[in-house]
């Protein structure tokens, strides 16, 4: 990635890398209490608040991939 004349430029391999990252994160989130979005206070549960932050980040990355 680079910025040229104030415009973000992303090549195909970088777009593929972002897409793969998104795929892996979504897969992890799909495990619910079995994935890495688990909090142990006081017992094991899926951290929906943290997952929602990640969903917003995914949406931002997808926008970047599609726009540039």
Task: Give the pLDDT score at 33.
Answer: 84
67 pLDDT band, cuts 50/70/90, is confident
Dist. CA 65–CA 60, nearest whole Å: 9
Q: What is the pTM of this model?
A: 0.79
CA distances from 68 to 11, 21, 32 (A): 9, 17, 32
Dist. CA 50–CA 65, nearest whole Å: 23
SS3 4: strand
**pLDDT tens-digit profile of 4-45?**
999 989 999 999 999 999 999 999 999 988 888 898 877 888
């Amino acid at each position: 990635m680079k910025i040229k004349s104030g415009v973000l430029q992303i090549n195909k391999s970088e777009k593929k890398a972002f897409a793969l990252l998104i795929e892996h994160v979504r897969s992890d989130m799909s495990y619910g209490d079995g994935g890495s979005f688990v909090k142990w206070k006081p017992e094991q549960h899926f951290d929906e608040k943290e997952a929602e932050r990640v969903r917003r980040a995914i949406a931002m990355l997808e926008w970047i991939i599609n726009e540039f």
